Chains A and B, each alone.
Chain A
Amino acid sequence: LAKTTQPISMDSYEGQEVNITCSHNNIATNDYITWYQQFPSQGPRFIIQGYKTKVTNEVASLFIPADRKSSTLSLPRVSLSDTAVYYCLPVGSNTGKLIFGQGTTLQVKP
């Protein structure tokens, strides 16, 4: 399984764009890159998933370069309610199993 590296924590201010980068140097050919968000005392929530290039939904954008060794989650104009832990997970298309790492704790300040 691909090992991921992402910053332990990040700080931002309301209204700013936040980019969280995840490294996954040994990602497998059939792995999708999936991001989850988790608020305190709640279960994780799926945010976005992609294979390569750019994916955008109503919550975030995901940028994946051609070599797929990293990915960047972009949150536009964050608010205080975006304070959470964000997890980057490569997921095999044939297993669907999630291996959670430490994630990135994003603190949004007023």
Chain B
Amino acid sequence: EADIYQTPRYLVIGTGKKITLECSQTMGHDKMYWYQQDPGMELHLIHYSYGVNSTEKGDLSSESTVSRIRTEHFPLTLESARPSHTSQYLCASSEYLPPGVQYFGPGTRLTVT
């Protein structure tokens, strides 16, 4: 069973606040990902990392930023939250092989009021 954790699970916050969503994995995976998913909609890749000090933007433009200082930790930050940021944020990690086998965390449901 994969060990990937996200905190908080739920967050309600006011507009303009800075927030950091935490993601950690204990599997030693080099690759990590952040996805965004609105209710009933598709998942979209917003950030990914192939290792320490490596971060790339995903297929969906996002105002969030990420960092990868340690292999096991891949936090996502929103400098100034807006209602349009209300969504579910899912973190995942994987090894290089087999390709496409990713382990997902439970997600953080963010509501910006």
The chain A residues found within 8 Å of chain B, CB to CB, are 32, 34, 41-46, 49, 89, 91-103
Least CB distance, A22 to chain B, in whole angstroms: 14
Q: Given the complex of chains A and B, what is the CA–CA distance between A89 and B99 in angstroms? A: 11
Interchain pairs with CB closer than 8 A, number: 59
Contacts of A89 in B (CB 8 A): 100
Q: Besides A99-B45, A103-B42, 4 other CB < 8 A contacts?
A: A44-B104, A46-B103, A49-B100, A96-B102
Assess whether A96 is in contact with B99, with CB atoms less than 8 Å apart: yes
Chain B: CB-nearest residue to A1: B59
Closest 9 CB pairs of A and B: A43-B104, A91-B100, A96-B99, A100-B43, A34-B100, A43-B90, A93-B99, A91-B99, A46-B101
Taking chain B's interface residues, is the majority helix, strand, or loop, or is none over half, making it mixed? strand
The chain B residues found within 8 Å of chain A, CB to CB, are 31, 33, 35, 42-45, 48, 59, 88, 90-92, 94, 96, 98-107, 109
30 residue pairs bridging A and B, Cβ less than 8 Å apart = A32-B98, A32-B99, A34-B100, A34-B101, A41-B107, A42-B106, A42-B107, A43-B91, A43-B105, A43-B106, A49-B98, A89-B100, A91-B100, A92-B99, A94-B99, A95-B99, A96-B31, A96-B94, A96-B99, A96-B100, A97-B45, A97-B100, A98-B102, A99-B45, A99-B59, A100-B35, A100-B42, A100-B43, A101-B42, A102-B42
Chain A: CB-nearest residue to B95: A96
Least CB distance, A18 to chain B, in whole angstroms: 21
Taking chain A's interface residues, is the majority helix, strand, or loop, or is none over half, making it mixed? loop
Known contacts A94-B99, A96-B31, A101-B42; A45/B48 CB under 8 A: no
Assess whether A96 is in contact with B96, with CB atoms less than 8 Å apart: yes
Contact of B100 among A43, A98, A102 (CB under 8 A): A98
Q: Given the complex of chains A and B, what is the CA–CA distance between A42 and B98 in angstroms? A: 23
Q: Given the complex of chains A and B, what is the CA–CA distance between A95 and B96 in angstroms? A: 9
